[in-house]
Amino acid sequence: MTEPSRTLDSGRQENLVEVEDLKVYFPIRSGIVIERHVGDVKAVDGVTFEIERGETLGLVGESGCGKTTAGRAVLRLLEPTDGHIRFDGQDISHLSGGDLRRLRRRMQMVFQDPYSSLNPRRNVTSIVQEPLRVHGIAKGAEAEERVQRLLEVVGLPLNAGNRYPHEFSGGQRQRIGLARALALNPDLIVADEPVSALDVSIQAQMINLLEELQDEFDLTYLFIAHDLAVVRHISNRIAVMYLGRIMEIAPSARLYERPLHPYTKALLSAVPIPDPHVESVRERILLTGDLPSPRNPPTGCRFHTRCPFAQRERCPDEVPELRRLDTGHTVACHYVEEIESGRITGRTLDTTDPVSVPG
């Protein structure tokens, strides 16, 4: 489905990351003495996207959508059950050993929880220089000097090196994590909910820092989050996931102005906006019911059980393909055109009257 990545004049691939039909299944085992494989949690169930060099791709979705799993798969912290992952043209889906370790130098991760993502028994210098030592890049005084520079870059006080993680605030710990991620000068950083655990006024500092660093170090970001407003702000393009599948991919501005997938519409309308006037006049699409569990996802289109536009034909039994439209959107929905043209109208699930839902 993806077009092969074009090689630019410089010889570098245009797409830094290409994910093709990625599946990550976690086996469910049950049994008393011997455990048997009784099923799978299909955390990621056929996901395809590219990340262009230098861009920020936002990956959004609610619980159980698989975005964190997808992020970890891209980093090869997990092995894909099926599908392919290509990094800078190279298929990394099943790399192991030394090759995998060398790959790690080019892709790093920033974690959500500033409290558990740093080894509590090591000091900051030890944490940040470990990547350098593990890959034999620097040690001793040289390593310490590089650590100092990194700490400076992320805005930590100079004497932070001797301190231990628990002596820092959440925002500062995230900075330490960022310094660690930058130590190897990677091409790609996967940021998994990097600001969700931070206070509102600290979030902005962190977001700005991430943006500055992207420019300064020529980084490519995969920005995973559930907070659409944050993702929208920092991303060039956004991919929306639901229950292990991608529903829509589009440039940020366009996704907001004109969401095509019903789930995207609902998601956007649910995000609170800090403006009472806007809140009182905006149209809401309230989804009913809960998010289904990834252990037992609906058949056909994963979203059809809660979709205000779901039709009886195709939706419950046929999985929609991700299609690239002329508008620049990539959408997985059988009836996008009909919904856009108004031929199919949405309805709230507890009345039988069709309700016209604004596009």
Partner 1 sequence: MSIAEAQAAELSLERPSGLWRDAFDRFRRNPAALVGVSLVLIFTIAAIFAPQIAPHPPNQQVGPLSTNPAGPGGGHVMGLDEQGRDLFSRLLYGARLSLLVGIVSVGIGLAIGLVFGALAGYVGGWVDTVVMRVMDLMLSIPSLLVAIGLVTLLGRGMVQIMFAVGVTTVPIFARLLRGSILGQREADYVLAARSVGVPGRRLLLGHILPNSIAPVIVQATLTMATAIIEVAGLSFLGLGPGDPSLPEWGKIMADNANRLESAAHLVLFPGFAIVLTTIGINLIGDGLREAIDPKLKS
Partner 2 sequence: MPLLSVRDLEVRFFTRRATIHAVNGISFDLDAGQTLGIVGESGCGKSVSSLAILGILPKAGRVTGGRVMFGDRDLLTLKDSALREIRGRDIGMVFQDPMTSLNPVLKIGRQITEVLFKHLRMDKHDAIREAIALLERVGIPNASDRLDDYPHQFSGGMRQRVMIAMAIACRPQILIADEPTTALDVTIQAQILDLLKGLVEEEGMGLILITHDLGVVAGVCERTHVMYAGRFVEAAPTDLLYHHPRHPYTLGLLRSVPRLDASQKEKLIPIPGAPPDLTVLGAGCSFAPRCPYATDRSREVTPVLEEIDDPSHLVACWNPVSDADASAVAVPVERGRS
Q: Residues in the site for partner 2, rule: CB under 8 A?
A: 62-63, 169, 171, 199-205, 207-208, 226-230, 232-234, 252-253, 256-258, 266-280, 284, 286-291, 340, 358-359
Site for partner 1 contains 166 (CB under 8 A): yes
Contact with partner 1 (CB under 8 A) among 116, 185, 341, 356 = 116
- Rounded to whole angstroms, how far apart are CA atoms 291 and 226? 14
The string of DSSP letters for 65-114 reads SSHHHHHHHHTTSS--SEEEEEETTEE-TT--HHHHHHHGGGEEEE-S-T
- Rounded to whole angstroms, how far apart are CA atoms 163 and 155? 15
Strand order in the sheet with 323-324: 107-110, 188-192, 220-225, 56-60, 237-242, 245-251, 330-331, 323-324
- Largest Cα–Cα distance in the chain? 73
Which option in partner 2, partner 1, none does residue 109 bind, with CB closer than 5 to 8 A by kind? partner 1
φ/ψ region of 173 (left if φ > 0, alpha if ψ in -120 to 50, else beta) reads: alpha
Rounded to a whole number of angstroms, the minimum distance from the CB of residue 199 to partner 2 is 4
Classify residue 126 by burial, with Cβ atoms within 10 Å: 0-12, 13-18, 19+.
Answer: middle
Rounded to a whole number of angstroms, the minimum distance from the CB of residue 263 to partner 2 is 9
Site for partner 1 contains 118 (CB under 8 A): yes
Site for partner 1 contains 121 (CB under 8 A): yes
Site for partner 1 contains 130 (CB under 8 A): yes
- Rounded to whole angstroms, how far apart are CA atoms 44 and 38? 18
Question: Are the CB atoms for 13 and 7 separated by under 8 Å?
Answer: yes
C-beta closer to partner 1: residue 5 or 93: 93
Question: Are the CB atoms for 246 and 239 separated by under 8 Å?
Answer: yes
Question: Are the CB atoms for 114 and 174 separated by under 8 Å?
Answer: yes
**Binding segment for partner 1 among 14-22, 46-54, 155-163, 299-307 (CB under 8 A)?**
155-163
Residues 6+ apart with CB under 8 A from 194: 110, 111, 112, 174, 178, 206, 210, 223, 225
Rounded to a whole number of angstroms, the minimum distance from the CB of residue 156 to partner 1 is 7
Site for partner 1 contains 12 (CB under 8 A): no
Which option in partner 1, partner 2, none does residue 357 bind, with CB closer than 5 to 8 A by kind? none
Site for partner 1 contains 157 (CB under 8 A): yes
**Binding segment for partner 1 among 162-170, 245-253, 321-329, 348-356 (CB under 8 A)?**
162-170
Question: Which residues within the stretch 186-215 sit at the binding site for partner 1 (CB under 8 A)?
Answer: 205
C-beta closer to partner 2: residue 234 or 332: 234
Which option in partner 2, partner 1, none does residue 164 bind, with CB closer than 5 to 8 A by kind? partner 1
Question: Which residues within the stretch 44-83 sit at the binding site for partner 1 (CB under 8 A)?
Answer: 72, 75, 77
Question: Are the CB atoms for 336 and 265 separated by under 8 Å?
Answer: no
Contact residues for partner 1, defined by CB under 8 A: 72, 75, 77, 101, 104-105, 108-109, 111-113, 115-121, 123, 130-131, 134-135, 155-157, 159-160, 162-164, 166-169, 172, 177, 180, 183-184, 205
